[in-house]
Copies of this chain bind each other. A is one copy, B any other.
């Protein structure tokens, strides 16, 4: 067991350790960006840090854990980026805030395609993301920002909820609702949120993963149209910048 951090020297050790952890992730990310996901290897990271691969096991129990920590930190960065974009608009205009966050998501994804791929192109990573998915899930820190904005939009907005909601959904939707603060959101509205998230994810992923390359060099206007559509669905009358 490590000594409890608290004394001055103990604290310093702890900080050094955290700096090493940070340098590992920094190096791994650099390899990801410069040479692709296959290059993010224990031996390569150690080499770049003038270490040997087994030494890294003092910080991560396995290669998989290192990658997981990397994705988690990327989710944090993405969440912070989206929050910053959101805060460039007044809280009194959640529509503009959400629009800005959506566009920032696309901008970040295009600027960091490898990172986006690591986060969002995972068919069946493991069963680590159970259907319920705890609020501690790294992706939740990111997704929560969009969800909260949609809630704001609902509070002041004019979302017209769909009718005839499939009863099989209510159980899962209620679980999502529990993660939200404040007054309970109608399940129908949560359904609208999910549908909008699906559309936003698709609009970004189809572009970043190159599935529009065959047709378009600049899908920007197409994305803008999609965002306007989403905002309209959420009751925002006119598009925000």
Contacts and interface: CB of A to CB of B under 8 A. Distances in A.
Contacts of A131: 213-214, 217
Given A129-B214, A198-B206, A201-B211, A117 B123 contact: yes
A98 interface: no
Given A123-B117, A124-B113, A195 B222 contact: yes
Given A195-B222, A198-B222, A124 B210 contact: yes
A66 to B, nearest CB: 16
Contacts of A130: 213
A136 interface: no
Interface in A115-172: 116-117, 120-125, 129-131, 133, 137, 139-140, 143, 162, 166, 168-169, 171-172
The A interface is mostly helix, strand or loop, or mixed, namely helix
Interface in A91-130: 113-114, 116-117, 120-125, 129-130
Given A124-B36, A222-B194, A213 B113 contact: no
Interface residues of A, number: 57
A164 B23 CA distance: 49
Contacts of A211: 120, 197-198, 201
Nearest to A113: B123
Interface hub of A143, A173, A215 (most chain B Cβ within 10 A): A215
25 contacts: A113-B123, A117-B121, A117-B123, A120-B211, A121-B121, A124-B210, A130-B213, A133-B214, A137-B214, A168-B218, A169-B217, A173-B215, A175-B215, A176-B215, A190-B215, A191-B222, A195-B222, A197-B206, A197-B211, A199-B199, A201-B206, A202-B203, A202-B206, A205-B205, A205-B209
